[in-house]
Amino acid sequence: MFGCAGIALSGAEIAFFRVAQPLGFILFGRNVESPGQVAALVRALRAAVGRPEAPVLIDQEGGRVARLRPPHWPELPPARRFGEAWKRDPERAVEAVRANSQVLAGMLQPLGITVDCMPVLDVPVAGAHDVIGDRAYSDDPVAVAHLGLAAAQSLLEGGVLPVVKHMPGHGRATVDSHHDLPVVAASEEELTARDFAPFKALRYMPLGMTAHVRYTALDASRPATLSPTVVGEFIRDRIGFGGFLLTDDLSMAALPGTIGDRAEGALAAGCDAVLHCNGRLDEMEAIAAVVPPLDRHAIRRWAIADALLRRAAAPPIEVERAATWRDLMLAEA
């Protein structure tokens, strides 16, 4: 899955996508100007590959990770707001999360965006880098699991696929994986009890994303995205995740090697598809030159996710009404 450089496709991008045939696309702030422009860009991306059903992703979590922002789209609270409400009243916090996902789905539907890269199921620990910070619902894995499940289910009901991230857990990282490789020395027992728990609770979700983090107790030499052990033994078997597994962005500096090496390594580790976000055409060409078509397992997993999306067929969502209910639940919790 690829990004693009700006608010409209260039001729070179159209020609490349037509030949490369990526599974789908992801949008960032650099691709966003206005609702009409975003909708037109989404249509152009799909036209470039000749597939009107091609998925289009976005990171619209709320708080500091939101590509769609005022004045055209509403401001959304960070996940931690819902975790704080959970401490006071878990039931109202869950209601608030569900309403917030309705707001998200109502924002994305009119634009043609079909996948939102949330919820964040990472469980931060004291001393961790704030790259996750308030993007996490809570420091309590039970709260993260309940709130994350409510967020994902409501998003699905609204006709948008959620992506659980960052598997098997980014909450202990002490550096930002956009710039450096985090190394986590926690034991397998600690990771299983705390970090894995929310992902295990949401193991039946259709889409997941890996963490560019090295866990020395699981694989001493490779980050999760590039580790057959972490992907196969821990994400697939111990956590039990059976959905379509995407990498986090391959252009992040946490991963070693060339961009082509990273793509090949991630697929060899057992990821179903690679995600490349910065919109650089030369890097996308290097990836396209080395990755094969989806294998039969990835095709089956994607078909299940796509069927869930088609089945939702949700009616238009009243965004303002959902936002009002969310805010009421947060205020009363």
For residue 201, what is the domain's CATH number? 3.20.20.300
Q: Which pLDDT value is given to residue 41?
A: 98
Token pair 């699991």 is found at 145
CB 92 within 8 A of CB 85: yes
* Number of folded domains that form the chain: 1
Tokens of 33: 């100007």
Is residue 201 assigned to a domain? yes
- CA triple 63-206-32, angle to 5 deg: 40
What tens digit of pLDDT does each residue of 54-112 get?
999 999 999 999 999 999 999 999 999 999 999 999 999 999 999 999 999 999 999 99
Is residue 216 assigned to a domain? yes
Give the confidence band of 316 by pLDDT, cuts at 50, 70, 90. Answer: confident
Average pLDDT over residues 16-23: 98
Reduced to 3 states (helix: H, G, I; strand: E, B; else coil), residue 246 is strand
Q: Which pLDDT value is given to residue 313?
A: 55
Can you give the residue range of the structural domain that contains 231? 69-108+118-332
Average per-residue pLDDT in the chain? Answer: 96
Is residue 61 assigned to a domain? no
By annotation, the residues acting in catalysis are 178, 248
Is residue 273 assigned to a domain? yes
Is residue 140 assigned to a domain? yes
Note the helical H segments in 213-292. Answer: 228, 259-269, 281-288
Closest CA to 166 of 249, 89, 222: 249
Give the confidence band of 135 by pLDDT, cuts at 50, 70, 90. Answer: very high
pLDDT of residue 333 exceeding 90, the answer is: no
Give the confidence band of 34 by pLDDT, cuts at 50, 70, 90. Answer: very high
Whole-angstrom CA distances from 322 to 54, 104, 305, 329 are 28, 10, 25, 11
**Phi-psi region for residue 295, left (φ > 0), alpha (ψ -120 to 50) or beta?**
beta
Average pLDDT over residues 296-317: 86
Tokens of 193: 């009890």
Average pLDDT over residues 127-141: 96
Is residue 47 assigned to a domain? no
Is residue 226 assigned to a domain? yes
How far is 51 from 21, CA to CA, in rounded Å? 9
What tens digit of pLDDT does each residue of 203-221 get?
999 999 999 999 999 999 9
What tens digit of pLDDT does each residue of 223-253 get?
999 999 999 999 999 999 999 999 999 999 9
pLDDT of residue 312 exceeding 90, the answer is: no
Is residue 25 assigned to a domain? no
Q: Which pLDDT value is given to residue 314?
A: 61
